[in-house]
Amino acid sequence: MKDYIKHDEWNIIEEGFDPKLNRISESLFSIGNGRMGQRANFEEQYSGDTLQGSYVAGVYYPDKTRVGWWKNGYPEYFAKVINSANWIGIDVEIEGEVLDLARCNVKEFRRTLNMRKGYLLREFSVITPSGKEVKVSAQRFCSIVDDQAGAIRYAITPVNFGGEVSVTPYVDFDVANEDSNYGEKFWSEVTKSVQEKEGWIEAKTDKLDFHVAVGMNYSLEIGNDIIEAPAQSKEKNKYLASTSSVYVPQGEELVVKKYAAIISSENHPKDDLIEVCKSELSRITSKGFDIMLKEQQAAWELKWEESDIKIEGDVSAQQGIRFNIFQLNQTYTGEDERLNIGPKGFTGEKYGGSTYWDTEAYCLPFYLSTADQNVARNLLLYRYKQLDKAIENAEKLGFTQGAALYPMVTMNGEECHNEWEITFEEIHRNGAIAYAIFDYVNYTGDQRYVVDHGLEVLIAIARFWSQRVNFSQEKQKYVILGVTGPNEYENNVNNNWYTNLIASWCMEYAVDMVEYVKNTDEDQFAQLVQKISFDENKEVTHWQAIVKDMYYPVDEKTGVFLQQDGYLDKEQVLVKDLEPKHLPINQKWSWDRILRSCFIKQADVLQGIYFLEDRFDLETLRRNFEFYEPRTVHESSLSPCVHSIQAALLGQKEKSYEMYLRTARLDLDDYNNDTEDGCHITSMAGTWMSVVKGFGGMRVKDGQLYFNPFIPDQWNSYSFKIRFREWLLKIIVAKDKVEIENRSESPITIFLSDKPLELHPLKTAMVNGH
């Protein structure tokens, strides 16, 4: 755990420059707008340790799979959202000396991510090797108003001298991915042109032929006066630049304003990219940096109005939740159903930037409550449109009759994860896809989605589960063998309790939805039956038989649901009894030792109880929580939020708060020593859930909202807003009261601590002594 980020309610602040922390900061201070993103690399040259990262949504490369032992069914590639053009670059020379923080004496350094207004600011003073003191202020943002554009204001001040300053803004497509399997570079140049202070370059990816055009334009100012300095253009393979040199008097500020347009063939015809790039560049340059920044701030103000959580009395907790919400909002906007949410978003290369089950299990609730209903619906449509690929994935593993296995990792619906224990065994991911449909319909009331799209997915998933089980003669039950559950510190186990539970639930839910659609829209149902050759009586009967006789491992002595067969054969050691030097075990222990241990990476049995909470009483939850949580090392970013929510439900306020802080500040404090690879974007939605579902106790039951809030002892109050169907509510929880404001023009009855409470239009209800 690290503690170098200054606590502040609205800003992420780093004071002083430590090169050993630079990669972590590059992740934390990343910026994006849903279409593209940029790690917090320096504009000027930096010869120290850095991970260059600029990413364009939807553009990826199928990097050839690299494994030691090829197995039938392996995907041929691992999809990676690849490093795109470096558009932020501005090389600086001070009277012939290259400005490079690795070679200068850094006197002052401050990096600030202003989350309220949506920009990154870096300020520093350095002494060059020749003794010249230079002060720099660099401000930049990826515009969420002009979402194909970025802008930079880079100001240089000679402090103890006057002299010539040369600046070289550039665009560089000659970039690499650090995680490339074979050391390949993924871009080839198509065309480029640079004239004076403006240039455009188009490149394409190998194999899949994605095209991206990047244009740049810059201006120079001293004292608000435009400087018409001559520019010398430079070109080399996949690179263009323009250099201008200006004499800058001592104490005066030279301001470089650089604009970039990043245009993708995902959004425009390839033949038009350069013209679109020129047009966009001209438009934003005419608008200017100051106007673009004002628009950025206004747009972020609207986002915060929808999704902010306000905490009084705990700056650390406040900073944590806002950082998580900020990253979620700049990663995914929901405007394009082709896009999804990668575990690292636009902040790093790890996990390939691809889609995992995290989206359905953790992210969907955040977007359901904080954005227009279509945003969440688009996340479901993303999976629906990839159903054919999910069926192909199942066929590759030997499944038939339209069974679908959704991928663990994907960009286009094809499985592209190349670790056998994940690709072949972590099949519980199918359950998250089905559960997301239930979650969406339960929250929005949009039953029509099931009719038009959802049922087809549910049947395909149920078909998979019905073929994946087998009947055990010994147990006289259906079993599921050779799986990996959510706890990836166990592989190739039999009867993972969570997998068996979610498989059974999927078939049960499919049966219910078959009946619903058949009774709601006979014609639509008949068309689907014909389309997918659905034998309702035979298949439904089989599913019901499996549900009735599914096997679930249980310890009869304690009543604890066993994570899998044989779990109690392991040596039972608690995390608190491990010496700190052993943690995190995924970095300190061999994989053999981990697999033989009882330690749990993330919620597994508890994940099932969380999803299907209404099926288990509090005593059952308590029994399992108190058994499994002490054995959980929380080395998955997805782990703390589920435990926080369940601890809240059990009245364990301190444990709930402890787990909340761990998820809220997971990256800010680098809990698991891996933030340098990128932030844990999908788990950030779990932070929101910890507050709203945990402390706020929000649930939706039978189409109605329930709240059962409490307030952590460390807080004075907290508040959050939610959208629920046609209503917008604001909930404020203080030590001695709860206020719920209905910001809509129609009444709604909610339940507060299981008691009905009518909320009148545009009125606030207050309940004292809660």
Active site residues: 488
- Phi and psi torsions of 548, nearest 5°: -65, -35
- Quick one: tokens of 81? 């959202």
**Beta carbons of 406 and 430 less than 8 angstroms apart:** yes
Contact, 745 vs 728, CB < 8 A?
Answer: no
Token pair for residue 551? Answer: 């096997």
What is the C-alpha separation between 655 and 634, in angstroms, rounded? 13
Backbone angles phi, psi at 595, to 5 degrees: -65, -30
Residue 550 per-residue DSSP state: B
Beta strand 11-15 with 699-701 is: unpaired
DSSP 364-422: HHHHHHHS-HHHHHHHHHHHHTTHHHHHHHHHHTT--TT-----SSBSSSS-----HHH
Two tokens at 654? 């301190």
* Cis before 269? omega within 30: no
Cβ–Cβ < 8 Å for 552, 497: yes
Q: What are phi and psi of 221, to 5 degrees?
A: -140, 145
Please give the Cα distance from 62 to 23 (Å, whole number): 26
Distance CA(21)–CA(6), nearest Å, equals 14
In contact, 319 and 8? CB cutoff 8 Å: yes
Beta strand segments in 444-512, E: 470-472, 477-479
User: Which stretches within 558-695 are classed as H helix?
Assistant: 585-588, 591-596, 605-611, 618-628, 639-649, 653-664, 681-689
CA dihedral of residues 452, 453, 456, 457 (deg, nearest 10) = -160
Task: State the Cα–Cα distance between residues 360 and 406, nearest whole angstrom.
Answer: 12
**Alpha carbon distance 214, 209 (integer Å):** 16
Structure tokens at 190: 């198509």
